[in-house]
Amino acid sequence: MTKKVTKIGVLTSGGDAPGMNAAVRAVVRTGIYHGLEVYGVMRGYSGMIDDDIFRMESRSVANIIQRGGTILKTARSKEFNDAEGRKKAYDNLKKRGIDGLVVVGGDGSFRGAQRFSNEYDIPCIGIPGTIDKDIAGSDFTIGFDTAVNTAIEAIDKIRDTADAHDRLFIVEVMGRDAGYIALHSGIATGAENIFIPETKTDIEELVSSLMEKEKRSKLVNLVVVAEGDEFGANEIAKVVKERMPTLDARVCILGHIQRGGSPSCIDRVIASRMGYHAVECLMVGRHNVMVGILNNKMNYIPLDKAVKAKQRINPEWMKIVKILAS
């Protein structure tokens, strides 16, 4: 017999992502629709440990679907890595009778949820909320589409000034371990070169390419680099300037602007779908899974597999980049 879930908690953990509020809203209202008590946990696992937990009603999530960030705040908790910290968190849930958790976050958040659930038999459902899109089992993660569109808007403006001055711009976007933001924004803005952590960066090939384009009087060039690339934007610029001192090369690091802002339609919709299905999972006894969307259909992957697997980039993407930039 599956233990009936009556009270659930929802938290956002790790890096913030546009659309997290839409997911929280969906969890709260779906839970209330099913007659569950829903509790919000502030600052992720830190709030569980510090007992920063409060009852949520339907009006608690009014007028938040369009807001970036997360009303529940978020944090990375070192204390939750220790057994003593997880015991504190469990005691705070137990005294309220919370018997199910929905965790919106990335792979680190899912690892914590998996360990916690195994130790204390509290079912956890993961919702992939990360701008990096680096979790296998879902075509999209909450926040990715908004982050990419923010990067595209910024890069389009940078290209305008690059064109006005015949400059090379090396733009660094987010993506510590995954190059999806760089790949998508680079293709969408017509970047001549894209460098990502998943592939080896060939500086010599870049320099040769720039020299060849200089001979063709193609002086406007755009290079998009993921922050996790082995060289990084500043180091690439340093090498280029040493090898081509007459080339006017500039670096622009977009940084945390990509995390903020009102979520796109796609992020609001997928977050709403995932939040709804996360609660449905708890209701029917499908526990310790991540709720994803594959080919526009809901996909449920065990949390332990979700944290071990990584979204892989098809080599064809890089071929497309090379052909279109020629």
The enclosing domain of 40 has a CATH number of 3.40.50.450
Cβ neighbours for 82, distance < 8 A, ≥ 6 positions apart: none
pLDDT reported for residue 91: 97
**137 lies in the same domain as 15:** yes
**189 lies in the same domain as 118:** no
**26 lies in the same domain as 173:** no
**58 lies in the same domain as 138:** yes
* 322, pLDDT greater than 60: yes
**270 lies in the same domain as 124:** yes
| Domain total of the chain | 2
pLDDT reported for residue 326: 66
**196 lies in the same domain as 228:** yes
Percent of the chain with pLDDT over 90: 67
Q: Which of 165, 151, 130, 127 is nearest to 276 (CA)?
A: 127
| The pair of three-digit structure tokens given for residue 97, joined into one six-digit string | 């009778």
> 16, 99, 107, 132: which is the annotated catalytic residue?
132
Domain that holds residue 221: 145-259
Domain boundary among 259, 291, 316: 259
What average pLDDT does range 176-183 have in this prediction?
91
* 118, pLDDT greater than 50: yes
Asked, for residue 324, whether it belongs to a domain, the answer is: no
What are 33's strand-pairing partners? none
**How many Å apart are CA 124 and CA 115, to the nearest integer?**
10
Asked, for residue 128, whether it belongs to a domain, the answer is: yes
Q: Calculate the average pLDDT of the chain.
A: 91
Asked, for residue 130, whether it belongs to a domain, the answer is: yes
**C-alpha torsion 280→286→291→294, nearest 10:** -100
pLDDT reported for residue 1: 40
DSSP annotation of 297 reads: E
Confidence of residue 16 (pLDDT cuts 50, 70, 90): very high
State pLDDT tens for residues 241-278.
888 888 888 999 999 999 999 999 999 999 999 999 99
Query: Has 50 been annotated as catalytic?
Result: no
Cβ neighbours for 166, distance < 8 A, ≥ 6 positions apart: 219, 220, 248
Asked, for residue 317, whether it belongs to a domain, the answer is: no
Asked, for residue 1, whether it belongs to a domain, the answer is: no
Percent of the chain with pLDDT over 70: 96
State the CATH number of the domain containing residue 250: 3.40.50.460
